[in-house]
Amino acid sequence: MFKENDECCAIQCEKCGGTMYSDAASTSFICSFCGNKEPWPNSENILDSEIKYRHKPVEVVNGLVKLGHVYFMEPLPEMLKNNTQSIEDKLGVFSALSTKVYEKSHTIKLPCPLCGADVTGESTQTIFTCEYCGHRLTQEELKAGGYNKDQLIGAGSRSYPSIALPFKLTKEQAFGRAQLLMKREPMSFKGAEKAIKEKFTAFYTPYTLADLRVKAQISTNKGDCEIYQEVLNWVYPQTYVFDENAVDMVAPWNFDEFAPFDPVFLEGDVHITTRSNLFPVQKYLDRMINEQLCNRLCENYGLQNVKIEKWARNLRKHSADIMLPIYYVDYTDNSAGERFVIVVNGQTGAASARFVNSKDKTRSIQLPASSKLPRFAETTMRTPPMIVRYVKPKFLHEVIPPEKGFKKSLFQMLKFW
């Protein structure tokens, strides 16, 4: 069912990549940027969700888009340097006890009380499943000392969200995706394959769900312009532990598949990270927005030396925090003076590797999801950065074709003369 007046559904335009919002008057989705229309599907294909989404369509006036929410731009703040601590070091800061427990993790074997077959798993697991008869053993049935709630990193009723996206990939399947990623640039991972396999770990980690809108004034090798981008159902972290940019690269996520989350009933050997107190959200947001926006501009327009001079950001939170399923590993190559992390989306199989060298320069490689997400699901939607130009009050802008959008300064024209 479609939402009531204060809620609307959104999909991505297949024509221009912009955002299409549901319009009750025309029973269709309408793109705010190119005017493309797409009829609603059968209503039974759109399900109500316990998550309250707060999508707000961009207002269109006589073909011009109203961008008052991101009109007043400011210089970029001082960016944080990339955090090059290993994940073991970060986890050790938050919970030394639980880190020691995981370090002593070992494989244990238990007899199934129903069929007598051996049930194996890691000592840190909460739930065990008999592969022969399918019976699940809870912590009460584990041998003494096999279950310890201290293993849940910082566990507590307010320490993590109450919903999560379930893992759909096993550890073996996820590592297979990581191997496909590494084959794209094999020399970058030479000598690290064994360590990567040994340290490859499943995590649940807390994120906040929101819609992000950015307008920026940029300078590039092709000239200057202003751009506008929307990212619907974007997620940003509530913890320091992971490389936030590498996790951002494995989107999109399908939020229609969320389920209740309780660590006590968690199956498999999955580590849990929880919300960090006094987490500097704004600094992490700025770093994520800056990197993904510059990368997108280079990809979409073939640009080099992209620099954001000024920007305005608008964040509209939805009524949900959510635990995301990821597989994660980091590795430091001291001989090359480079550190990298690998992330695999535990829901879709999308993968990324992000490299940071000793001079804080970054590069990345990506592997897309193994299959497309449903067209009409609530998923992460990232529009291409669109070149816009102010036309008239109030905050009305027009979308400019790329070939007409870049304006070179006198200095740039003399430089390339």
What is the structure's pLDDT at 196?
93
What is the Rg, in whole angstroms, of the alpha carbon atoms belonging to the chain? Answer: 23
Torsion (CA) 296, 299, 303, 304 in degrees, nearest 10: 80
**Alpha carbon distance, N-terminus to C-terminus of the chain:** 59
Kindly give the confidence (pLDDT) of every residue in the chain, 417 residues in length, as a single tens digit, with 9 standing for 90 and above: 344 445 678 899 999 999 999 888 888 999 988 989 999 887 554 546 678 888 988 888 988 999 999 988 888 776 555 555 666 665 665 555 555 656 666 667 777 776 767 777 776 677 777 877 777 766 555 453 343 344 444 444 577 898 999 999 999 999 999 999 999 999 999 889 899 999 999 999 999 999 999 999 999 988 999 999 999 999 999 988 899 999 999 999 999 999 998 887 777 788 888 887 766 788 888 989 999 999 999 999 988 888 999 999 999 999 889 999 999 999 988 777 789 999 999 999 999 999 988 777 889 999 999 888 998 899 999 999 999 999 998 899 999 998 887 877 655 554 544
Query: Which sign does the torsion angle of CA 100, 106, 109, 112 carry?
Result: positive
Tell me the DSSP string of 172-192: HHHHHHHHHHHTTSGGGGTTT
Let me know: does 370 contact 199? Beta carbons within 8 Å.
no
3-state secondary structure of 213: strand
Helices (H), 1-128: 87-94, 96-103
Cα distances (angstroms) measured from residue 357 to each of 79, 187, 258, 295, 340: 17, 16, 37, 18, 9
pLDDT at residue 133, as a whole number? 78
Q: How far apart are CA 401 and CA 82, in angstroms?
A: 35
Distance CA 379, CA 375 (A): 9
Is the CB of residue 298 less than 8 Å from the CB of residue 384?
no
Q: At what angle do helices 87-94 and 96-103 cross, to 10 degrees?
A: 130
- Determine if the peptide bond prior to 252 is cis (ω within 30°): yes
Q: 234: closest CA among 322, 349, 298?
A: 322
